[in-house]
Amino acid sequence: MPESRSAELIEPAAFPIRCIRDRHQAEEQLDHLASRTVNDQQREARQRVDGILDDVRARGDVAVRDYTQRFDGFLPDPIAVDPAALEQAWSNLSKDLRDALDLAHRRIQDFHQRQRPADLAMQGVHGEQLGRRWRPVKRAGLYVPGGRAAYPSTVLMNAVPARVAGVEQIVIASPAGADGEVNPVVLAAAHLAGIRTVFRIGGAQAIAAMAFGTASVPKVDVISGPGNVYVTLAKQAVYGTVGIDSLAGPSEVLVIADQSANPAHVAADLLAQAEHDPLAAAVLLTTDGALAERIGVELSQQLDGHPRRDICEASLSNWGLVVVCDDLEQCAELSDRFAPERLELLVERPEALAERIQNAGAIFIGGYTPEAVGDYLAGPNHTLPTCGSARFSGALSVETFMRHTSMISFNKAALEATGSAVRELARSEGLHSHAESVRLRLS
């Protein structure tokens, strides 16, 4: 008798990801996903963060060390990593990893060098000189997460635009393990990016130290980089004391796919987002009902033996969603409503669909463009707006680490030509001395 092949033909049970076909329900679910950071845990965290910020402002390094020992399990004394350890970490990497980091660094640098804004200068109709001048901030603090994983890519994506901007002093804060050691690949990436100062601290206490300054940590002008809820709330609280890049929430991907998409590719891309964090959102909008039915099985197959299975399952169970749409226009409308951080277009004519999309942090066009290439080395920045903020903001850029100043130079002829209008406007606002400042010059 031939050997039975029944075991090979049995597919695993489909992963129970939510699948809906009603547009109204889809809109409600997408709105729910976009608001996933607003909860009781965040409100409680805000009180703790405020207390940490006040304490670090008052006690400086002593408070930073106390909180690091309490939360991370070691006493950071000294707070800074020995600069020689950065070069040593680079030397200790395998050649393949050094080459990969070097390729990523070169591509990210090449793209961001083309972003550097140019000064603007123009002459008005009456001879006045008008312009806008760009200058880098003096100091930048980069936050590089630790915890569940190490992110050397975050080092490059934050350090490169800061260096291209011309920032004079760049420091990194990154939480160490219980042994007090920062991940060596993070240190190696810092060395590659030309950074020599890394502080082995994380959480709200690290944001406070960079925002207010301590004996060990310099006060910076801009803080960038993602983190957990405590880091995000701390950045929100210190904004105004320092500049920040954005308030990054949990990450997300939205995939639009039609009948041409490979189900295994779609499932892999959803999992690539889900493995980041239990709060990560992975959404599929598809015009193909067969793909919607198949995706649960594909997810189950790829979750088998997955090293971060628990995180993926938590993400997909709570924040995963499949929506069957009538057509690609409906897909685009729902996508714009959600305004995803990352949008993948796995359709027959992705370029045309990309033109239709208005709200997305980054668009990955076509079947050979998984989000992973953008996360690591495509060139554009992977620090992107989350939780719907792509409706009004974009990726971290060189401009994040710069500020612009308006330049205005009127001559006598220009003031004579416009002065009566200035005085009229000043009088309309009840500002007497505004009007007088012009009249006295022309009298």
Task: With beta carbons less than 8 A apart as the criterion, state whether 397 and 134 touch.
Answer: no
Mean pLDDT per 10-residue section of the chain, whose length is 443 residues: 43 88 96 78 85 98 98 95 97 98 98 97 96 98 83 97 98 95 96 98 98 98 94 96 92 97 98 94 98 97 97 96 98 98 98 98 98 97 95 96 98 97 98 98 94
Longest dimension (CA), the chain: 113
**Helix 203-212 with 40-59: angle, nearest 10 deg:** 50
* Residue 320: both structure tokens together: 């995963």
Closest by CA position to 205, among listed 77, 47, 65:
65
CATH of domain 13-37+251-378: 3.40.50.1980
Closest by CA position to 30, among listed 383, 355, 415, 331:
331
Classify the C-alpha dihedral 283-286-289-291 as positive or negative. negative
Where does CATH 3.40.50.1980 sit in the chain? Answer: 13-37+251-378, 41-244
* Residue 169: both structure tokens together: 């002093």
* Residue 20: both structure tokens together: 């809906």
Give DSSP secondary structure letters for 222-254: EEE----HHHHHHHHHHBTTBEES----S-EEE
- The topology under which CATH files domain 41-244 is Rossmann fold (3.40.50)
Give DSSP secondary structure letters for 403-437: EEEEEEE--HHHHHHHHHHHHHHHHHTT-HHHHHH
Q: What is the pLDDT of residues 107-129, one digit of tens each?
A: 999 999 999 999 999 999 999 99
Amino acid letter, residue 131: G
User: Cα dist. 296→226, 276, 287, 347 in Å?
Assistant: 30, 19, 16, 20
Tell me the three state secondary structure of residue 295. Answer: helix
Amino acid letter, residue 323: V
Strands laid side by side in the 243-244 sheet: 197-199, 169-173, 139-143, 222-224, 243-244
Give DSSP secondary structure letters for 110-163: HHHHTTPPPPEEEE-TTS-EEEEEEEE-SEEEEE---TT---HHHHHHHHHHHH
State how far the Cα of 412 lies from the Cα of 142, in Å rounded to an integer: 47
Closest by CA position to 89, among listed 206, 191, 205:
191
* Residue 15: both structure tokens together: 């992963």
Q: What angle do CA 325, 328, 331 make, to 5 degrees?
A: 55
State how far the Cα of 238 lies from the Cα of 253, in Å rounded to an integer: 29
Amino acid letter, residue 233: L
Give the mean pLDDT of the chain: 94
Task: With beta carbons less than 8 A apart as the criterion, state whether 397 and 161 touch.
Answer: yes
pLDDT at 147 (0 to 100): 60
- Is the bond preceding 175 in cis, omega lying within 30 degrees of 0? no
pLDDT at 38 (0 to 100): 58
Classify the C-alpha dihedral 220-226-227-233 as positive or negative. positive
Q: What is the DSSP letter of 361?
A: S
pLDDT at 81 (0 to 100): 97
pLDDT at 39 (0 to 100): 60
pLDDT at 44 (0 to 100): 82
